[in-house]
Amino acid sequence: MDIRNCNEEEMKEIAKEFGEKEFRGKQMFEWIHGKQIQDLDEMTNLSAEFRRRLKEKYRISGMEVLEKQISSKKDTIKYLFSLPDGNVIESVWMKYRHGNSVCISSQVGCRMGCTFCASTLTGLTRNLTAGEMLSQVYEIQRDTGERVSNVIVMGIGEPLDNYDNLIKFIKLLSSEKGIRISQRNITVSTCGLVEKIRELMKERLQITLAISLHAPNDEIRRETMPVARKYSIDEIFEVCREYFEMTGRRITFEYSMIRGINDKKEHAKELAERCRGLNCHINLIPLNEVKERNCLRSADSDIERFKIILEKNRINVTIRREMGSDIDAACGQLRKKFLNPAGKNQRRSDCEYIFDNRYGTRTK
Ligand code: SAH
């Protein structure tokens, strides 16, 4: 069993299970999450006998770097990791002036079926454990030798579709005795699972919530995001207002700009109208074109025009700086290439079906 997946309470229980004093669990936590050790034998203040017995049942699973792509500016590194069960995920390290960010995956694959995204092409294989989400941060911090200050859950997968593991992960990541990433420096991005957002706000975490909006109305949103058939934009804005009231945290909206679909003047005006009175920030993302998908990136001039309209309406807006576009850094691209090197279209036709099984209306 992967002991990286355990919190302090669970480690205290493990210590007791082995007939040790409870404080041994606290010491284990300091080694495993505070120092991010890779081998249980590094816990030198525990007896060799206890470590030997512990190793019969527990281990630190970690993950292996299968491939590493470094951008020409050396400010972005994309990691392809292999998990002990042979599954493959990807994570990205980005160096900014204000610190280093790691973008992690929350699932192996995704079942949300967004039409512009590479991560969902082969459907969902399984959820990642809290330990596997942490391992991405620990391994990258070790590999780069530089402290990670920000974590964004914006890689492969839908984090709120893996809710319990996500919450455990955030608590471990921000623990005072762990790697100590402040909750204010953690962002969770969701396609907008409204009930889960409502649950999340009750946890009273200080994280930033980012919502993948990508459209100013339901009609356009439903063209690219199957989840929009389950939850309307009105419901999303309503829950965002509640979220802000409850947590005091400003909402981020992500808006990937797709040529001819969501990038017109009237779309910017409609979006501005919706955001009126809500403390939010809009991040315009020039679409990363994915070979298997038909969506095209908006022209730079259209993105700029969109931004200006929002600014005129006094909406906070930025255009996402592009990093690592010379290294398959778009969501799921590297993993996709690994799974399907010939580039043949392997889209699982039941992808939306899997999604709809749980989230309502069938789209096919
Ligand atoms: N499932 C979560 C997090 C993963 S995707 C979510 O939907 O938010 C991270 C962000 O990248 C989302 O906003 C997603 O819509 C966007 N994205 C996915 N593929 C993209 C692409 N090819 N170009 C631009 N943005 C993309």
Alpha carbon of 122 to ligand 1 centroid (Å): 15
289 assigned to active site? no
- Residue labelled with tokens 């580039």: 343
- Which atom of ligand 1 is least distant from the CA of 191? 7
- Report DSSP letters for 198-246, one per residue: HHHHHTT--PEEEEE---SSHHHHHHH-GGGGTS-HHHHHHHHHHHHHH
pLDDT for res 290: 87
**Which of 153, 212, 205 is closest to 184 using CA atoms?**
205
CA distance 225 to 351: 12
**Which residue is closest in CA terms to ligand 1's atom 12?**
212
Write down the pLDDT at residue 352: 28
pLDDT average, residue stretch 238-244: 97
Q: Give the pLDDT confidence score for residue 69 in this predicted structure.
A: 93
Q: How far is the CA of 172 from the centre of ligand 1 (A)?
A: 25
What is the Å distance from ligand 1's center to 256 Cα?
8
Between residues 217 and 344, the one the model is more confident about: 217
Q: What is the mean pLDDT of residues 335-357?
A: 44
Give percent of the chain above pLDDT 70: 89
- Supply the pLDDT for residue 194: 98
Query: Ligand 1 centre from 191 Cα, in Å?
Result: 8
Ligand 1 pocket: which of 121, 160, 331 to mutate (most atoms within 8 A of CB): 331
287 lines ligand 1 (CB under 6 A): yes
Q: Residues 78, 90: contact at Cβ < 8 Å?
A: yes
Burial 35-62 (b: 16+ CB within 10 A, else e): ebbeebeebeebeeebbeebeeebebbb
- Nearest CA to 112 out of 253, 228, 261, 254 is that of 228
Nearest protein Cα to ligand 1, atom 3: 154
Choose the residue to mutate in 94, 163, 189 for probing ligand 1, maximizing ligand atoms within 8 Å of C-beta.
Answer: 189
pLDDT surpasses 80 at 64: yes
Q: Which of 168-172, 192-196, 212-216, 289-293 has the lowest mean pLDDT?
A: 289-293
| Catalytic residue, candidates 90, 132, 158, 352 | 90
Picking from 161, 192, 113, the residue whose alpha carbon sits closest to that of residue 350 is: 113
For residue 259, the model assigns a pLDDT of 96
State which amino acid sits at residue 214.
Answer: H
How far is residue 48's CA from residue 40's CA, in Å, rounded to a whole number? Answer: 10
Q: Which residues of 148-180 are buried (b: 16+ CB within 10 A; e: fewer)?
A: bebbbbbbbbbbbbbbebbbbbbbbbbbeebbe
Quickly state the pLDDT bin for 292 (edges 50, 70, 90): confident
DSSP H or E run through 166: helix 163-173
Q: Is the pLDDT of residue 326 over 80?
A: no
pLDDT digits (tens, 9 = 90+) for 117-148: 999 999 999 999 999 999 999 999 999 999 99
Ligand 1 pocket residue status of 290, Cβ below 6 Å: yes
Task: Specify whether 240 is catalytic.
Answer: no
pTM score: 0.91
